[in-house]
C-alpha cells in the first residue's frame, strides 16, 4: 500500500504542478513506467464500467446518435449495432468521445490485415520511401511474411521491412517537411476505411463526414508518439477519428497549451477515440506501448476468428488463416493505429502554393519516436476521378 500511495502521489504532484513542462513531465513519467506496478494506477481504463482509476470521477457517459447508423450499415463495417456501444467523455474535455471496442468478434482481423497487407502498398506513402526505391517498397507484405511467420523460431534475425514500417499516409498525403497537405499529392482513399469512418462519425453526430486523409502509425514496444496537435487540416469543425489494434498503450490528452497537465488513459485493441469541437486541437501524445502481461501474446479480443461467411455487401473481407498467422505474429509485439480526418470543408479548395513548395520531399523518417512532434497543414481539393 505504501508503494502504491507513493506512486499515485507522484502522479498527482506532477499533474497539479503548473508550468510549461507539466505535460512533458507526465509524458516522461509514463514513458518510464513499469507495467504491473502502481505506476499505472492513475491511468483511466474505459474498458471497465464507467472507467477505473483515481481520476475515474472525470468520466461521463456520452450520448450517441443511434438512429444515424442502421444496424445493417454497422454490420457491414464489422461493428456492433450502435445501440450496443458504450461511449464516454471526460469532464473538462468537451468533444472528446471514447468508445471501448465496438467491433463484432473477429472483425478486427480485417482492419489489421488491411494495415499490414494492403494499405502499406504503393501508391500509398511510407517512411521507408525516404531511403528506398519504389521497387524495394512495392510490396512490403510479400517481402516480410515469411520472416514474420517464423518470427519465434529465430529472434536474432534482421527485422523485416514491415517491422521497420513506422507510418503510412493515405488519401491526401501529409508532408512531414512543410507540415501541409496539397491537392497534387493524392491517391484514392481506401473505400472500406472511408465507410467505417463515416459510420463512426455519424454515430457521434457528424453526418456527412468525408474521410480524405489517413495516417497509420506502426508502434513497436519501444515506440512513442511525441506531444503534438493535429491542426493542419483546413476544416477543424470535423472530428479526428482514431482506431487502435494490437497491444495496449497509454494515451495522454492535454490542453491547448503544454503547461496544462494531461489526463492519462489506456487504449486497448478495438478502441475508438473521437476528438472534436474544443478537443479537436488539444495537445496529445503516446508515451508508452504496454507489452502483454502473458509475454508475447495477443489481446483476447483478437483470438476469435471472423465468421467463415460474410454478408455479400460487407466492406469487410475474409482473412485467411495464413494471412492472420503473419498478422498475429506481428501484433504480439506491436500495435497499429489508424487516424482518419477530413481535410477540407465542403466545396473548399486548397490555397495556391508557390511552385517550389510542391517540390519539397514528402517524407521524413522516424515518426513514432520520442518528441517527434508533428503539426499539420493546408490543402486544395483534388477530384479523385480526374
Cα distance between residue 175 and residue 169, in whole Å: 9
Angle at 214 between CA 363 and CA 201, to 5 degrees: 160
| Count of Cβ atoms closer than 10 Å to residue 57 Cβ | 10
Helix (H, G, I), strand (E, B) or coil at 172: strand
Angle at 164 between CA 161 and CA 167, to 5 degrees: 110
Report which of 274, 253, 267, 124 is spatially closest to residue 198, judged by C-alpha positions. 274
230 is in an annotated binding site: yes
- What secondary structure letter does DSSP report for 302? G
Phi, psi of 126 (to 5 degrees): -140, 170
Write down the residue that cell numbers 483546413 correspond to.
234
Alpha helices (H) in 38-179, listed in sequence order: 71-76, 108-113, 140-149, 161-164
User: For the stretch 99-138, what's the b/e string if a residue is b when 16 or more beta carbons lie within 10 angstroms of its beta carbon?
Assistant: bbbbbbbbbbbbbbbbbbbebbeeebbbbbbeeeeeeebe
Report which of 196, 216, 234, 192 is spatially closest to residue 381, judged by C-alpha positions. 234
228 is in an annotated binding site: yes
Angle at 46 between CA 334 and CA 88, to 5 degrees: 125
Cα distance between residue 303 and residue 306, in whole Å: 10
Q: Is 340 in contact with 211 (CB distance < 8 Å)?
A: yes
Q: What is the CA radius of gyration of the chain?
A: 20
Helix (H) or strand (E) holding 192, with range, is helix 191-203
Q: What residue numbers does the annotated binding site cover? A: 228, 230, 284
Q: What residue numbers does the annotated binding site for Fe cation cover? A: 228, 230, 284
Amino acid at each position: 500500500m505504501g508503494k502504491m500511495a507513493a506512486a499515485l502521489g507522484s502522479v498527482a504532484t506532477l499533474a497539479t504542478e503548473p508550468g510549461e513542462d507539466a505535460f512533458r513531465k507526465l509524458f516522461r513519467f509514463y514513458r518510464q513506467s513499469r507495467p504491473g506496478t502502481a505506476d499505472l494506477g492513475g491511468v483511466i481504463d474505459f474498458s471497465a464500467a464507467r472507467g477505473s482509476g483515481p481520476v475515474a470521477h472525470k468520466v461521463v457517459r456520452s450520448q450517441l446518435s443511434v438512429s444515424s447508423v442502421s444496424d445493417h450499415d454497422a454490420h457491414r463495417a464489422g461493428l456492433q449495432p450502435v445501440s450496443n456501444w458504450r461511449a464516454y467523455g471526460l469532464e473538462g474535455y468537451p468533444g472528446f468521445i471514447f468508445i471501448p471496442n465496438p467491433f463484432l468478434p473477429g472483425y478486427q482481423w480485417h482492419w489489421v490485415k488491411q494495415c499490414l497487407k494492403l494499405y502499406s502498398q504503393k501508391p500509398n506513402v511510407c517512411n521507408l520511401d525516404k531511403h528506398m526505391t519504389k521497387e524495394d517498397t512495392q510490396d512490403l507484405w510479400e517481402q516480410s511474411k515469411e520472416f514474420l511467420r517464423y518470427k519465434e523460431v529465430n529472434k536474432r534475425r534482421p527485422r523485416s521491412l514491415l517491422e521497420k514500417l513506422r507510418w503510412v499516409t493515405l488519401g491526401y498525403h501529409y508532408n512531414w517537411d512543410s507540415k501541409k497537405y496539397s491537392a497534387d499529392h493524392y491517391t484514392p482513399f481506401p473505400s472500406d476505411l472511408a465507410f467505417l469512418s463515416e459510420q463512426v462519425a455519424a454515430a457521434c453526430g457528424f453526418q456527412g463526414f468525408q474521410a480524405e486523409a489517413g495516417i497509420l502509425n506502426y508502434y513497436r514496444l519501444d515506440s512513442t508518439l511525441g506531444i503534438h496537435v493535429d491542426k493542419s487540416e483546413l476544416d477543424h469543425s470535423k472530428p479526428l477519428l482514431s482506431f487502435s489494434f494490437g497491444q495496449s498503450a497509454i494515451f495522454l490528452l492535454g490542453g491547448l497549451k503544454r503547461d496544462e497537465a494531461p489526463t492519462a488513459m489506456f487504449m486497448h485493441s478495438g478502441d475508438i477515440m473521437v476528438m472534436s469541437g474544443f478537443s479537436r486541437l488539444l495537445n496529445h501524445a503516446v508515451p508508452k506501448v504496454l507489452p502483454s502481461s502473458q509475454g508475447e501474446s495477443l489481446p483476447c479480443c483478437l483470438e476469435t476468428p471472423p465468421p467463415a461467411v460474410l454478408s455479400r455487401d460487407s466492406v469487410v473481407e475474409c482473412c485467411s488463416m495464413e494471412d492472420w498467422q503473419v498478422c498475429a505474429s506481428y501484433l504480439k509485439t506491436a500495435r497499429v493505429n489508424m487516424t482518419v480526418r477530413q481535410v477540407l470543408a465542403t466545396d473548399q479548395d486548397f490555397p495556391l502554393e508557390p511552385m517550389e513548395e510542391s517540390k519539397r520531399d514528402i517524407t521524413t523518417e522516424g515518426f513514432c519516436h520520442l518528441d517527434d512532434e508533428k503539426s499539420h497543414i493546408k490543402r486544395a481539393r483534388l477530384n479523385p476521378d480526374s
